[in-house]
Structure 1
Amino acid sequence: MLTRLRHWAEALARETHAVWIAARDPRTPFAAKALGVVVAGYALSPIDLIPDFVPVLGLLDDLLIVPAGFWLFKRMVPEAVMADARSQANRADRPRGHTATIVIALIWVLIAGALAWQIAGFVSW
């Protein structure tokens, strides 16, 4: 079972890389490019929308958001583009996702700052 789980994780990493490659392909429509960058960045990022320590919901977002994003992306992209991206992903090293991590962390900081700003506006000291 552990071997099967490892193969599944490797396939998911390869597919994430293929989505990243296809999102940067000039044959990909703009809306699909935007979705592909977001989905691949989210899948590669260690920061989740709902933290994993939150019971059930923390893992549910990974089990629903990422596969749904992949499914929608694949429907928006021509099959030839995905086939080329998959072959490139099979031959290439995996991206590390440091840029996506930084961008997502900055988004969280901005959201937290905006919420703090709103809360501070409602509280009179």
Structure 2
Amino acid sequence: MKNDNIIRLKNYARKLKQDLFVLYLSYKDNRTPWYAKAVAICVVAYAFSPVDLIPDFIPILGYLDDLILIPLGISLAIKLIPTYIIEENRFMAEELKKNEKPKNWFVGILFILIWISLGVWIGKMIIDFTS
């Protein structure tokens, strides 16, 4: 029973990873509607970002994005993109997946700047509060 759940979870994770590559290709496709592209770009950029909005070292919350936000985003984007585009991109995604996973350093840097800004803001509040 426990092994079945682990196998099912591994298969689900593998499918999600495959769907990320499908979304990556689909948002570059001119036939994809603009609203589906917007969702796909956000999901792909976040998933491929080397830095999480909520760092993994934060207990419980650190893994919420990986366990909830990314799968929900993938599901929503897949539903918004026409089926024929998804199916055409599945084959190309398999080839892309064999190569190195793309990194999105722009989003990573953006999240680092958000955390630095938050730290500066909290530090300023503490200094103002103690003064």
Structure-1-length-normalised TM-score: 0.77
- How high is the sequence identity, in percent, across the aligned residues? 32
Q: Which residue of 1 aligns with 2:102?
A: 97
CA contact (8 A) 1:41 1:97 kept: no
Structure-2 residue corresponding to 1:10: 14
Aligned to 1:25: 29
Stretch of structure 1 that moved more, 62-71 or 85-94: 85-94
Correspondence for 1:107 among 105, 110, 115: 110
The residue identity in structure 2 corresponding to 1:47 is V
What is the CA deviation profile of residues 29-69 of structure 1, one whole-angstrom value per residue up to 9, with x for unaligned ones?
Answer: 11211211221122222311211121211112211111110
Gaps of at least 5 residues in structure 1 are none
- With over 3 angstroms needed to count, the CA separation of the structure-2 counterparts of 1:74 and 1:4, relative to structure 1, is closer
Which consecutive segments of 4 or more residues in structure 1 shift more than 6 A?
A: none
Please provide the CA RMSD for this pair.
Answer: 2.7
Q: Which residue of 2 aligns with 1:43?
A: 47
SS in 1 for 2:58: coil
TM-score (norm 2): 0.74
Map 1:39-118; keep pairs closer than 5 Å. Answer: 39-92=43-96, 93-98=98-103, 100=104, 102-112=105-115, 114-115=117-118, 116=120
- 8 Å contact from structure 1 (residues 18, 82) kept in 2: yes
Deviations 1:83-118 (A, max 9, x none): 1111211233345222x1x11222124324544379
The alignment covers a number of residue pairs equal to 123
User: Bigger CA drift: 110-119 or 82-91?
Assistant: 110-119
Structure 2 counterpart SS, 1:75: helix
For 2:116 and 2:57, the matched residues in 1 are separated by 23
